[in-house]
Structure 1
Amino acid sequence: MALQSLVERIEHAFAPIRHVLKPILSDPSTMAVWALLVGASVGVLWWDVRKRNRALPSLMKGVWTLVVLYSGPFGLAVYRYAGRTQIDRDSLWRRGFRSTAHCYSGCGAGEIVGFAVLAGLLALESTVLTALGTFALAYLFGYALTVGPLMQEGVGFGRAVLDALYSETPSITVMEVTAIGTDLLLASQAKMTDPLFWGALALSLSVGFVFAFPINAALVYFGVKEGMKNPAEMGGDRHGGRERATD
């Protein structure tokens, strides 16, 4: 009863925002324009990686591809600010953005799979089951993207899992509470064939990123997470990085 009452109060508080966003996200033309923006953004990303940023590790190339697929021009802007070898200097904010992007790439995949399978293909009518299942997949994907690289570096499975739980749980939790909450608030009754289903999912992913960013920046600041390596150090010397940027 208490949980249901809390949910109802939240829905009531955000009703004006939902009233504005639902018609926009339900419009097929909106989704068509968004798809074009995402496609163009991915094209720009891949061109930049191929021409100027080949030094980036394969993992980060995959991370940035997923980030841009999820968030289009917003994801591309984050990449240009924090992920290229041509950045002038590293900073806490850039490290926070890279850490969030790494977390986002895995969690976003889990969220997409969760909603597509549970709410879409299986058409579960229970909001609670959909939310719990999507949470579980987001955690699984998010942790896997940390555990896998650690094990490749020679860390044992048990230690890698503990490190992932310690360093990733706060940011994953905040990201998924806000992302899944946004999606359910806007499209809990939408079918997989409805533009609203995909529009709300796309918006919710970026909302999760925005809310998780300060958490990741704080975790990096306090040493809980190391943060992803400065990409400028991957492209040879800094002068050489600038020369490549003008080719």
Structure 2
Amino acid sequence: MASFLHSIEEALAPARDVVRPVVSDPQVLAAWAALVAVSLGVLAWDLRKRNQAIPSLMKGVWALVVLYSGPMGLALYWYAGRTQIPSDSLWRRGVRSTAHCYSGCGAGEVTGVVLLVGVLAIGDTVVTTLGTFAFAYTFGYALTVGPLMQEGESFGTAVMDALYSETPSITVMEVTAIGTDLLIAGSATIGDPLFWGALAFSLSVGFVAAYPVNAGLIAVGVKEGMSNPAEMGS
């Protein structure tokens, strides 16, 4: 296994060498933070002025998506999350389903990395990786189990439904995101700009990887996808 992982790292080394200087540049990170702030402002304005019919859960989902991915997250909301979308499709449903997964898993991943690496200063890569996976799975499942229980399902049934429908997308998302973070940031500490730049970049990479999985799960009927916002607007 170690040799296999090492071979993957060597194969991806050229891409890492291109990305690392960019995501560790303080000026780039400052510009990115400004773009995220502007994107969040646009999202808040649109939700308050034009899309109040969207449920609170999805408003929170889109806020986290934009927080993680800035303008990209805002573009995804504009494409699939507003009541003004011209028509729904598998691709828009896939975006909403991935956004739902992304919001919970991303929160878990950020919490895990900051707590384990920043607060507890655990230097063991295996421990921090497994711990971050655990946080991501817990948060991701919780964001599905909670709404299902609100709809009347028992805790046990909701957990089984979440395991069945969410495990493939969570696994692909987190393997990709955490793997990307480890590849780029390595042993970076919480005070290093690379730590935050690699974390933000890896989250968006995880979204991209999980999107076709979610679209496929919806296409075969494993997942229903999130509700059509256009119907809420009407």
Deviations 1:81-115 (A, max 9, x none): 00000000000000000000000000000000111
Query: Match for residue 218 of structure 2?
Result: 220
Deviations 1:64-83 (A, max 9, x none): 00000000000000000000
Do structure 1's residue 149 and structure 2's residue 141 form an aligned pair? no
Query: Match for residue 169 of structure 2?
Result: 171
Per-residue deviation, 1:22? 1.1
Query: Match for residue 51 of structure 2?
Result: 53
Do structure 1's residue 211 and structure 2's residue 209 form an aligned pair? yes
Per-residue deviation, 1:127? 1.1
Query: Match for residue 35 of structure 1?
Result: 33
Query: Match for residue 76 of structure 1?
Result: 74
Per-residue deviation, 1:19? 0.9
Q: In structure 2, the residue corresponding to 1:164 is in which secondary structure?
A: helix
RMSD across aligned positions (CA): 0.6
Query: Match for residue 100 of structure 1?
Result: 98
TM-score w.r.t. the length of structure 2 is 0.99
Structure 2 unmatched runs, 5+: none
Query: Match for residue 66 of structure 1?
Result: 64
Per-residue deviation, 1:51? 0.8
Structure 1 consecutive aligned stretches of length 4 or more whose deviation exceeds 3 Å = none
Work out the CA distance in 1 between the residues paired with 2:46 and 2:2: 48
Do structure 1's residue 10 and structure 2's residue 8 form an aligned pair? yes
Query: Match for residue 130 of structure 1?
Result: 128
Work out the CA distance in 2 between the residues paired with 1:151 and 1:36: 38
Q: How many residues align?
A: 234
Work out the CA distance in 1 between the residues paired with 2:154 and 2:231: 27
In the alignment, residue 73 of structure 1 is paired with which amino acid? Answer: P
Work out the CA distance in 1 between the residues paired with 2:189 and 2:45: 35
Work out the CA distance in 1 between the residues paired with 2:184 and 2:196: 11
Query: Match for residue 119 of structure 1?
Result: 117
Structure 1 unmatched runs, 5+: 237-247
